Structure 1
Amino acid sequence: MKVFILVVASLVGVYASGDVLEYTDSNFEDLIKQHEVALVKFYAPWCGHCKRMAPEYDRAATKLLRNDPPIALVKVDCTTEKSVCDKFGVKGFPTLKIFRNGAAAQDYDGPREADGIVKYMRGQSGPSSREIKTVADFEKFTGGDDNVVLGFFESESKLKDSFLKVADTERDRFSFGHSSNPDVLKKAGYSDDIVVYTPKKLHNKFDTNEFKYDGNYDTDKIKNFLVHETVGLAGIRTQGNLFQFEQKPLVVVYYNVDYVKDPKGSNYWRNRVLKVAQDYKRKVQFAVSNKEEFSQEIEQNGLGERKDSDKPIVAILTNEGKFPLDDEFSIDNLKSFVELVLSGKAEAYMKSEPVPEQTEDVKVAVGKNFKDLILDSGKDVLIEFYAPWCGHCKSLAPKYDELASKLKNEDVIIAKMDATANDVPPLFEVRGFPTLFWLPKNSKSNPVPYNGGREVKDFINFIAKHSTDGLKGFNRDGKKVKKTEL
């Protein structure tokens, strides 16, 4: 009886809600050794980021528990378990680390949502490509809930070598397996082929259930196939696979996509999207996404007022902008809207401040005046994308004002745009602040990132050298033009 009591006591605090394991100072060192691979989340209950991540972590734990081999997801509360958190240098929350056989192997730098965590951690476990030795293995591997990539090879070949190289580099994104077993090849009906299998829950009458690679052994072509040609006519777009939906035009249909709790409802709406998508093969990419998972994107795409609709809501993303569908979702309305956007007659949605009066030398661009002020100005433009709270932007402001004053009589516009209050046009990639671009007046479709110095003379030197027609007050080398006396 005493032994039984000790065993039960040792398990107290091990199991958290769901399938996440919760370890403490007293048991962490002993229990973490039991896992070949484990992901540990060091957190604080009051942390907002931790609270937002918690349900995603729980969902990922359930999926990874069924992995072969299982992968453990663990959490440690650093407000009570201070010793273990100090040992691993936890200074912020959440901190995630990957452990191998009890030792901290590396920091986790992958996605923070369920599907992304699952894919990333599956890539950390075992070989990059699992060998499928029997028909039973094959059926189990292809019978799961996610797409899987299988290589079938009768013998050694260049395609097999390339397949395994791709598996090594893409294991965080896809699940790979390979087989040379004659029974498996016969069952599958392939030899010296690479095939992507979709899970049964996603099968439909519009798509193939298997995507076969038809290229050679070029690894880049194999990667391109996996990324761009294996999601079907209307793929399930999640935060974990956004890299597969970067081609534009992209039609995103948002609704309560949930193939665990409501597969029938998820398929009901997706089939209607597929019916439209079949008419636009290789012209337009379609996707369906969960409304809750993409709530922030829905707001950014101008659909905030419609997010509580019982029917799907739609946005089309193009290189020209974002186009929200105002009408109620239906097959006919979706098709008509796609045609309208493709014709160039639709008006893009753009978050914008009111158009200001231009009273200063630095011109103020907002969403609504960007085309007229910047793109159609007929002048060279230097534009700064900034954030009001950015310290570097505040330091640059007086220098930028001085630059604009010095060049106010030149054929150049010095402009700025608050990138937090206005949508940045798709032409520009802004990942930090301040970000500056140079736009020659005859080549506005190819903005040039400005990476030079931030002093006034640095800007003048750059503009003088790159201005389309030269400056009146400065030579090409940035020196002031000397006035000749009469």
Structure 2
Amino acid sequence: MRPLSCLVTGLAFLTSLAHSHSNDTATSNVLTLTEETFDDALTAHPLLFVKFYTPWCGYCKALEPEYEAAAEQMAGGAFHTTVLAQVDCSVHEELCIDQDINSFPTLKFFRSGIPTIYDGPRQTTGLLRYLERQSLPALTWVNDTMHLEAFVRSDPVVVVGSSADHDSDFYSKFHGLAEQARDRYLFGWQPSSSPDSVVLYTPSTQDVYTGDLLDTDAIQRFIRQHLTPLFGSIGPDNYIDYEEAELPLAYLFVSSESMLAGLTPPLLALAQQHRGAINFVYIDADAYPEQAEYLGINMTAPVWPAFVIQDPQSRRYILPTTTTAETIDDHVAKYLQNALVPFIESDPVPETNDGPVKVVVGSQYNALVTRSDTDVLLEVYAPWCGHCKALAPVWTQLGELVRDQGYPLTVAKMDGTSNDIPMDDPATFEVDGFPAIAYIQASTHRVALFAGDDRSLAALADFVHEQKGIRLEVPGSNGSSDDDGTDDTPPRNSQRHDEL
């Protein structure tokens, strides 16, 4: 037993630490941490959830009341051992650099000082669900039927392993899975004389895993594909569950309860028929018009209901006719037979396109880029991107040089916010940020991406020379764009459900 003096000293230290971390607002349950107090907080609080933010960040402002509400409920509840804190990165810049904070807000959960990035829902309910799971043991022992019934009702997603032998490889693997995925699911273990098993419980289903019990990757795939309802609503709180299922996602857009009610029975039957192959969801068309537009629905004069299938590669297949149970069934059947053509977002084809820089739109990508007689140097830009604006005069100058010198190359540009690069095209490539510059070789469709920070005329000419092997003559002026970096903002389609 430790001496009483040690206990008193430790208690005094924790009390003073808590006071030193408290917010200026007396009623707040969120601790404010600084460069001086951060390490002490990690020591004092084995379970610490930290928000890294800046006061000017709009997303941070939106998160603040949700985070405060979560802190208040955690402080007064059964899971009060988890402490919520925050760091203002506009003040404590060095601390945020040390923590590799690259965007705001960033949320990290520290377990005994070891951090895990939180990327789940930012509403209070989602935060609490995550934090409560973190506060529990990774694996809860469930000793009898009554305990099991209460346990599976305690969380929307519960995974229970069962075996008579807790010294087995199965138990060891299952316990490791619970440690790894504790932030997503609640795990239990039930001693049982019945055959070894893994069962997934949700509020409406009970699914038994029938694969290899030692293959934890397969168990996780099983969980992801079965934890979603047969036909449920999708929104900010649960879209990540559908994304992680890695299945095609069939959206039904509706604008009224009666519209949904009329199509629910046939959609439930269709979802049951294709369980494990396609996930079916419905979404409020009035609440999420941006998602409808992203999926390719004409929002100039939208007609509801509407139906779209989006595959894991973000290809979109829009039902072109009136949305009924029969047309949906036919559309799904054709999708599974690979008989549908994906939607390609595209600006209108330009009336004239004979300038030194060719304008490429989504519907003409194959004709102007993939099937071009010459190699193509393509810039994918965003109208609002500052680096793209700085590059624009240099890009035009490059196009004029190529034209005037009769150089065998097509210089082109495409607005990446309103045009798709067809994903099945031989010359496709992924745009990770703006501007993206790609050299596409005509004979092989090989794509080389420009990776330099220097986008001067001379640097671009050097890049072309590396690909083509023929020197483009550049005048004495280097035509510098006065640009020294890449744009930090990802492209519009960088995530499947970005609009949600």
Q: Is the aligned partner of 1:222 residue 2:219?
A: yes
**TM alignment of 1:266-305, pairs within 5 A:** 270-281=264-275, 283-289=277-283, 294-303=288-297, 305=299
Deviations 1:370-400 (A, max 9, x none): 2322234355433222223434334544554
Local SS of the residue matching 2:362: coil
Instruction: Name the counterpart of 2:412.
Output: 415
**TM alignment of 1:174-185, pairs within 5 A:** 174-179=185-190, 181=191, 185=192
Whole-angstrom CA distance in 2 between matches of 1:211 and 1:430:
40
User: Alignment partner for residue 337 of structure 1, among 331, 355, 364?
Assistant: 331
Local SS of the residue matching 2:200: strand
User: Alignment partner for residue 119 of structure 2, among 110, 117, 121?
Assistant: 110
Code of the residue aligned with 1:152 in structure 2: it is: S
Whole-angstrom CA distance in 2 between matches of 1:313 and 1:242:
19
Query: How far does residue 146 in structure 1 lie from its aligned partner after superposition?
Result: 1.4
User: Alignment partner for residue 309 of structure 2, among 308, 311, 316?
Assistant: 316
Which region of structure 1 is more displaced relative to structure 2, 221-230 or 402-411? 402-411
Query: Contact conserved, 1:358 with 1:364, CA < 8 A, in 2?
Result: yes
Query: Contact conserved, 2:70 with 2:127, CA < 8 A, in 1?
Result: yes
Instruction: Name the counterpart of 1:469.
Output: none
Query: Contact conserved, 1:353 with 1:421, CA < 8 A, in 2?
Result: no
Instruction: Name the counterpart of 2:174.
Output: 163
User: Alignment partner for residue 371 of structure 1, among 335, 351, 366?
Assistant: 366
TM-score normalized by the length of structure 2:
0.65
CA, structure 1 residues 270+55, in 2 after alignment: closer, same or farther (shift >3 Å)? farther
Whole-angstrom CA distance in 2 between matches of 1:327 and 1:59:
46
Deviations 1:48-86 (A, max 9, x none): 4245446765897799799974687868899xxx99x99
Deviations 1:432-464 (A, max 9, x none): 1122334444665xx645154451343223322
Instruction: Name the counterpart of 1:429.
Output: 430
Whole-angstrom CA distance in 1 between matches of 2:76 and 2:301:
34
CA, structure 1 residues 384+35, in 2 after alignment: closer, same or farther (shift >3 Å)? same
Local SS of the residue matching 2:199: strand
CA, structure 1 residues 291+58, in 2 after alignment: closer, same or farther (shift >3 Å)? farther
Whole-angstrom CA distance in 2 between matches of 1:36 and 1:291:
44
Whole-angstrom CA distance in 1 between matches of 2:54 and 2:128:
23
Local SS of the residue matching 2:247: coil
Query: Contact conserved, 1:386 with 1:433, CA < 8 A, in 2?
Result: yes
Whole-angstrom CA distance in 2 between matches of 1:328 and 1:299:
18
Whole-angstrom CA distance in 2 between matches of 1:393 and 1:430:
14
Which region of structure 1 is more displaced relative to structure 2, 229-238 or 38-47? 38-47
Instruction: Name the counterpart of 2:385.
Output: 390
Local SS of the residue matching 1:382: strand
Query: Contact conserved, 1:363 with 1:414, CA < 8 A, in 2?
Result: yes
CA, structure 1 residues 98+169, in 2 after alignment: closer, same or farther (shift >3 Å)? closer
Deviations 1:301-324 (A, max 9, x none): 234749998x65422224584234
**TM alignment of 1:207-218, pairs within 5 A:** 209-218=206-215
User: Alignment partner for residue 464 of structure 1, among 450, 465, 468?
Assistant: 468
Whole-angstrom CA distance in 2 between matches of 1:216 and 1:335:
35
CA, structure 1 residues 370+56, in 2 after alignment: closer, same or farther (shift >3 Å)? farther
Query: Contact conserved, 2:232 with 2:280, CA < 8 A, in 1?
Result: yes
Local SS of the residue matching 2:281: strand
CA, structure 1 residues 391+88, in 2 after alignment: closer, same or farther (shift >3 Å)? closer
Query: Contact conserved, 2:344 with 2:362, CA < 8 A, in 1?
Result: no
User: Alignment partner for residue 196 of structure 2, among 174, 178, 192?
Assistant: 192
Code of the residue aligned with 2:295 in structure 1: it is: N
Whole-angstrom CA distance in 1 between matches of 2:131 and 2:289:
26
Whole-angstrom CA distance in 1 between matches of 2:77 and 2:346:
43
Whole-angstrom CA distance in 2 between matches of 1:360 and 1:308:
36
Whole-angstrom CA distance in 1 between matches of 2:177 and 2:67:
28
Local SS of the residue matching 1:167: helix
Whole-angstrom CA distance in 2 between matches of 1:43 and 1:368:
41
Deviations 1:265-299 (A, max 9, x none): 98886543222234445554433446577543222
Give the root-mean-square deviation of aligned CA atoms. Answer: 5.1
TM-score normalized by the length of structure 1:
0.66
Local SS of the residue matching 1:273: helix
Q: Is the aligned partner of 1:251 residue 2:257?
A: no
Deviations 1:403-446 (A, max 9, x none): 545555455433221212334444543231122334444665xx
CA, structure 1 residues 355+308, in 2 after alignment: closer, same or farther (shift >3 Å)? closer
Query: How far does residue 150 in structure 1 lie from its aligned partner after superposition?
Result: 2.0
Whole-angstrom CA distance in 1 between matches of 2:94 and 2:376:
53
Whole-angstrom CA distance in 2 between matches of 1:226 and 1:306:
39
Local SS of the residue matching 1:137: helix
User: Alignment partner for residue 140 of structure 2, among 130, 149, 167?
Assistant: 130
Specify every segment of 5 or more residues in structure 2 that has no aligned partner in the other structure, as ranges: 1-24, 474-500
Local SS of the residue matching 2:363: coil
Query: How far does residue 214 in structure 1 lie from its aligned partner after superposition?
Result: 0.8
Query: Contact conserved, 2:317 with 2:340, CA < 8 A, in 1?
Result: no
Query: Contact conserved, 1:160 with 1:192, CA < 8 A, in 2?
Result: no
Query: How far does residue 41 in structure 1 lie from its aligned partner after superposition?
Result: 5.5
Code of the residue aligned with 2:120 in structure 1: it is: P
Deviations 1:83-132 (A, max 9, x none): 9x99998999757565779xx98586423433653554345334333333
Code of the residue aligned with 2:217 in structure 1: it is: D
Local SS of the residue matching 2:412: strand
Query: Contact conserved, 1:15 with 1:22, CA < 8 A, in 2?
Result: no
Whole-angstrom CA distance in 2 between matches of 1:359 and 1:329:
42
Q: Is the aligned partner of 1:148 residue 2:148?
A: no
Whole-angstrom CA distance in 1 between matches of 2:84 and 2:323:
42
CA, structure 1 residues 77+35, in 2 after alignment: closer, same or farther (shift >3 Å)? closer
Instruction: Name the counterpart of 2:239.
Output: 239
Query: Contact conserved, 1:119 with 1:173, CA < 8 A, in 2?
Result: no
Query: Contact conserved, 1:128 with 1:171, CA < 8 A, in 2?
Result: yes
Instruction: Name the counterpart of 1:10.
Output: none
Whole-angstrom CA distance in 2 between matches of 1:339 and 1:346:
13
Whole-angstrom CA distance in 2 between matches of 1:118 and 1:307:
40
Query: Contact conserved, 1:53 with 1:112, CA < 8 A, in 2?
Result: no
CA, structure 1 residues 347+220, in 2 after alignment: closer, same or farther (shift >3 Å)? closer
Whole-angstrom CA distance in 1 between matches of 2:83 and 2:363:
47
